[in-house]
Amino acid sequence: MLRRESLTHSSRGFYGKNIIRVKKDIGEFVCIREKVKDKIINTYLSIPYAKAARFGYPVLITDYRGIANSTTTYCFPQKKVPPFVNTLFKCPLMRNEFLPKKDKQVENAFYLNIWTEHNENNLKPVLVYIHGGGFSDGSGTCPVYNGTNLACKGIVVVTINYRLGIWGFASIKKDNEVISNLGFYDQQCALKWVKENISFFGGDPNNITLMGQSAGAISALIHYLNKESAELINRVVICSGTMIDVQTEEQALRSMEKTLKKNKIKDINELKTLPFNKRIKTDTDILFPVIDHGIIKDTLLNRQRHGDFIPLPVLIGTNEDELSITEVPLWYKKLGIVKNEVKLLGKYTELFNEDAPEIIDAFKNEARDTVDLQFRIMELAVFHGQAYMLMKLLSRKTEVFGYRFNCAPDLYKGLRGAYHGAEIAMFFDNMDKMNINIRESDLNAIERLQTDWLAFIKDGVIVNREIFNKNNRITCYDNEKATTVDFPHKKLIEGLCNKDVFSRVIDRYLKNRGK
């Protein structure tokens, strides 16, 4: 369906780009127009998609009379990371490209952003991206998520904001109803907006891919398994975030009580009156998804086991060095890391019982030292093993493509390897925002990754790549090539997945990480 638009105003500004007011059937929008790689790209920032009261469910915006977007970008309240923290810890996720430093923090940052080629009457596949950040940080306008270069590849890119921290994921009791998972309802509301309105911006509402990384990947999985959300999309990309634990409403309310007590807040009524930018101390468990019998009807594992979901094509994967960002001596103690090899077997025997020697032996030849070996074991439990189990479960009902990302950018002299989130800058082709040396191998890796993932986003198929369903094989991307490989440590994972080993390691990691 073709949509009408007209130009109402044009001016120069925004670093030499054209700022234009464009009138569409649903309203008037501010557009930043620029030439990129011989394409004319339109950027629409800060389009409001919903309204909500504090601790209220989001209400979709349908009438844009008197409502306008702007070139100012916004994010929900969150802690700002001082620059010295990244210098001290060398954590890639604390670098400027992953932080919303230019965003204005407001309580109602229900905004989405769109990047699209100027020819908006030719409907193109749509990518909706959910940012990560542990459900407590991040924004759709972080530099690494800028969709300009991807929009040059024949797709429309949408990034969204959703409520974070206690404001988006705490559970409260109101009139005998428990209200939980508001951040997920925000995301779902944004998906509804995209489905209804993206054609005005050149996007095909019948060809929408939902993609997320880390907490955004967990979000994408939740929407994949929710029929109301799944009816709004056509396929899903899940990057480094899979089968996280969920809480019952009773557990969530107890977590909320602990949080209020920790912050010396009398009750929910007092919390509701606090300034939106008040810093609330929270434990990790308060941010866990909750079985609310609405957007989450059961544990994620049970939903997958029972096949109670719409079988959309899915691309799932992890990075080789997911936890390298936490390989900092200051964090060793709270993560339970020991430096002595003699102590290692005793410690892991307590955790893994008779499986400890096999697990340690599986990583001895891969790890640099005793500390790195322990992080690799945690990576298997928290990320790789979970991804494998998810692929196995979903492949019973739908077509699954799997990947392992092993491209290490020239960052900190390669110290963090293919760290958590490294694939995002490459896929979005935003390595220039990292202020590091970009090598020829990086450019080749970007081309390989984009070729495959864009094919999936456009058609749900990656030509010349083996699907996981056949032989449990995945595509491994490294700096030199992309190859089909057996899922690493597949037999070890299969031997452990029916025990509670993984859940114990994940539980310890998540709770210790949040201290």
Q: Which residues are catalytic?
A: 214
Cα separation of 318 and 409, whole Å? 16
> What are the start-end ranges of the H helices in 239-340?
249-262, 268-273, 300-306, 329-332
Cα 105 from chain centroid (whole Å): 20
- The enclosing H or E element of 471 equals helix 468-471
DSSP string, 304-330: HHHT-S----EEEEEETBGGGGG--HH
Cα separation of 384 and 496, whole Å? 13
Close Cβ partners of 22 (under 8 Å, ≥ 6 residues apart): 5, 6, 7, 8, 28, 29, 30, 31, 42
Cα 132 from chain centroid (whole Å): 4
What residues pair up with 319 in beta bridges, in sequence order?
405
Q: Do 36 and 152 touch, CB atoms closer than 8 A?
A: yes
Task: Give the number of residues written for the chain.
Answer: 515
In the three-class reduction of DSSP (H, G, I as helix; E, B as strand; rest coil), residue 172 is classed as strand
What residues pair up with 235 in beta bridges, in sequence order?
209
Close Cβ partners of 408 (under 8 Å, ≥ 6 residues apart): 321, 414, 416, 417, 418, 422, 479
Cα-Cα end-to-end distance for the chain: 52
Q: Do 65 and 50 touch, CB atoms closer than 8 A?
A: no
E strand segments, 203-307: 203-213, 235-239
Q: Do 28 and 64 touch, CB atoms closer than 8 A?
A: yes
Amino acid identity for residue 58 in this structure: P
Burial class (CB in 10 A: 0-12, 13-18, 19+), 354: exposed
C-beta neighbour count of 362 within 10 angstroms: 17
**Phi and psi dihedrals of 49, rounded to 5?**
-115, -15
